[in-house]
């Protein structure tokens, strides 16, 4: 598969026109036999690791063995460029019948452009009762519509290298907050100038939750205005700059070479102690650094919300232009509720949302206990769901760009805060 850089472009009318103009390429249909179901072809596209690819291909084969009238054509590769390709396919009417969605795509693809099926309308083909109704409503329903079936439960945690903590006499049961991180991280770097408590931050692992903890609001509130002011963002930028200046974090000139911290050589060599990450990434990180532990994401005692990110792992959506939405829904339901499929997928999408399957996999030792513990920790103190414009890619890219400019000292915290609030307000105004 050819990978292209993710691009941020307006979807608008071009997407809708392409999606509604014809088919999704979701099946050649074929003539139904008088004594059997119609033969159908479904295209199922996803991204991920080789472990995920192998598991999904095995599950697809099993489903086709049990449903010989269905042919499922897999399309898979890496994450880089996936969103751009998917948007292009929707615009051209060639999107797959089924695809997982990153949660930050849902506002554009599912809510604004309405390119995927509301799976509540296909409930007769899916065992929705197998899912926790509150979890679905809280994390997978947008504007009253079920955008996709959660492929797993996910949550943000502190992931740490046990050997690093032992080397610097840091107790594993340390209750992390932003003050503790600064104090311990500064001590670590003073003891060993080549060691850093933390690697790299981005808007999702630091800026959004830090600000939300201070305000108690969503990043973007329901009336499409900012849930914060420049003062609290300036505080966040100033704290971030302090961590860099005091050696708590690896210098951005080094960390920026590795968009994925797990692939950072300093992390792999044991010179970075912790990262804030989602449970679904832990299996990959452990392939580089096996001896890892997890704890709660930093939450100050005076936080107005924990802001601990909990979300569904890549809700599996059905293309609204699919020629066979019922068959697509049947497959999606089987993939995410049946014990047979769960035994194959294990934890490739973190811990299954269907509790019976999760319990069985844990009992069988088929789920990495660190992943299961991470989800349990995050879900014990979740923040408000990050939905709607708080997940908008264009808005969040503005925040990410300014966070990086502060890191490289191209802007002061005060300048960055003023520019960010101005640019976000301008962009929000254009969206109304």
Cα separation, 309 vs 204, whole angstroms: 9
Cα separation, 151 vs 172, whole angstroms: 30
DSSP string, 196-208: EEE----IIIIIH
Domain locations in the chain as residue ranges: 12-152+314-353, 154-310+385-431
Query: What is the pLDDT tens value at each position of the chain, 432 positions in all?
Result: 333 333 334 344 444 444 444 444 434 433 444 567 899 999 999 999 898 999 999 999 999 999 999 999 999 998 889 999 999 999 999 999 999 998 888 888 887 789 999 999 999 999 999 998 889 998 899 889 999 999 999 999 999 999 999 999 999 999 999 999 999 999 999 999 999 999 988 999 999 999 999 999 999 998 999 999 999 999 999 999 999 999 999 999 999 999 889 999 999 999 999 999 999 888 889 989 999 999 999 999 999 999 999 988 889 999 999 999 999 999 999 999 999 999 999 988 889 999 999 999 988 999 988 999 999 999 999 999 888 889 888 899 999 999 999 999 999 999 999 999 999 999 999 987
Q: What angle do CA 23, 55, 380 make, to 5 degrees?
A: 95
**Beta bridge partner(s), residue 157:** 277, 296
**Beta bridge partner(s), residue 154:** 311
CATH number at 154-310+385-431:
3.40.190.10
- Tokens matching residue 94: 């060639």
Cα separation, 72 vs 63, whole angstroms: 9
Judged on CB neighbours under 10 Å (0-12, 13-18, 19+), 405 is middle
What confidence score (pLDDT) does residue 350 get?
A: 87
Whether 12-152+314-353 and 154-310+385-431 share one fold: the answer is yes
CATH number at 12-152+314-353:
3.40.190.10
CA distances from 33 to 29, 38, 41, 125, 231 (A): 12, 6, 15, 21, 68
Cα separation, 144 vs 308, whole angstroms: 24
Tokens 């997982």 identify what position?
Answer: 100
């Amino acid at each position: 598969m050819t990978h292209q850089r993710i691009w941020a472009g307006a979807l608008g009318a071009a997407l809708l026109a392409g999606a509604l103009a014809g088919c999704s390429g979701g099946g050649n249909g074929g003539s139904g036999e008088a004594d059997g179901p119609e033969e159908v072809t479904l295209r199922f596209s996803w991204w991920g690791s080789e472990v995920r690819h192998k598991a999904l291909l095995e599950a697809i084969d099993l489903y086709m063995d049990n449903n010989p009238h269905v042919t499922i054509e897999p399309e898979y590769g890496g994450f880089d460029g996936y969103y751009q390709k998917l948007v292009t396919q929707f615009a051209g009417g060639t999107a797959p019948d089924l695809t997982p969605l990153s949660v930050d795509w849902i506002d554009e693809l599912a809510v604004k452009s309405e390119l995927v099926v509301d799976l509540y309308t296909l409930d007769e083909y899916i065992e929705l009762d197998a899912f926790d109704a509150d979890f679905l409503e809280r994390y997978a329903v947008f504007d009253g519509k079920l955008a996709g079936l959660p492929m797993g439960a996910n949550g943000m945690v502190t992931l740490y290298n046990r050997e690093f903590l032992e080397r610097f006499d840091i107790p594993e049961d340390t209750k992390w907050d932003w003050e503790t991180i600064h104090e311990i991280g500064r001590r670590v770097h003073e003891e060993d100038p080549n060691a850093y408590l933390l690697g790299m931050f981005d808007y999702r692992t630091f800026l959004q939750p830090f600000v939300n903890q201070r305000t108690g609001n969503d990043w973007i509130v329901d009336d499409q205005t900012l849930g914060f002011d420049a003062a609290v963002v300036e505080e966040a930028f100033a704290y971030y700059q302090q961590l860099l200046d005091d050696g708590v974090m690896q210098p951005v000139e080094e960390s920026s070479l590795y968009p994925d911290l797990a692939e950072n050589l300093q992390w792999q060599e044991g010179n970075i102690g912790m990262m804030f990450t989602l449970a679904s990434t832990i299996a990959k990180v452990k392939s580089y650094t096996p001896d890892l532990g997890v704890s709660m994401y930093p939450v100050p005692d005076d936080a107005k919300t924990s802001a601990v990110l909990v979300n569904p792992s890549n809700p599996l959506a059905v293309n609204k232009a699919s020629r066979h939405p019922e068959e697509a829904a049947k497959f999606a339901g089987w993939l995410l509720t049946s014990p047979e499929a769960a035994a194959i997928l294990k934890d490739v999408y973190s811990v299954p949302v269907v509790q019976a399957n999760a319990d069985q996999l844990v009992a069988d030792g088929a789920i990495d206990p660190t992943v299961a513990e991470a989800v349990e920790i995050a879900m014990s103190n979740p923040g408000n769901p990050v939905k709607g414009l708080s997940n908008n890619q264009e808005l969040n890219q503005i925040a990410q760009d300014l966070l990086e400019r502060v890191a490289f000292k191209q802007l002061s915290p005060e300048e960055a805060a003023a520019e960010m609030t101005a640019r976000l307000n301008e962009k929000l105004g254009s969206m109304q």
